[in-house]
Amino acid sequence: MSARARKPKPMRIAPGILLDLASASKATPAELAAYLKKSEGTLANWRSQGKGPRWTKPGGSILYDWADVDEWLKSQPAGGEGVRRGVA
């Protein structure tokens, strides 16, 4: 018997922004900022510094692929006791 993949439910990430990951493969900076709970300015800074998830600019509009966002999030260090702290 094979396991069926669960279809993610749409979620409200900010007032007026409903995110449906099942049907959307790309995110605008506004959608990603709301999802990550960061400002669009932070995303712009990350782009200029070469940080953050991969992005593309087809036709002049910045877009993030949700698969790239997921990959980037998984690559980020987790917090808590397991995080190494710098020694002064």
pLDDT value at residue 45: 98
pLDDT value at residue 78: 81
**Residue boundaries of the structural domains of the chain:** 23-75
In 3D, which of 43, 60, 61 has the Cα closest to residue 52?
A: 43
Each of the 88 residues of the chain gets a pLDDT tens digit; together they read 445 545 556 666 666 666 665 556 899 999 999 999 999 999 999 999 999 999 999 889 999 999 999 999 999 988 776 556 655 5
pLDDT value at residue 79: 75
Calculate helix-pair angle for 29-36, 40-49, nearest 10 degrees. Answer: 100
CB under 8 Å to 23, separation ≥6 — which residues?
none
pLDDT value at residue 85: 60
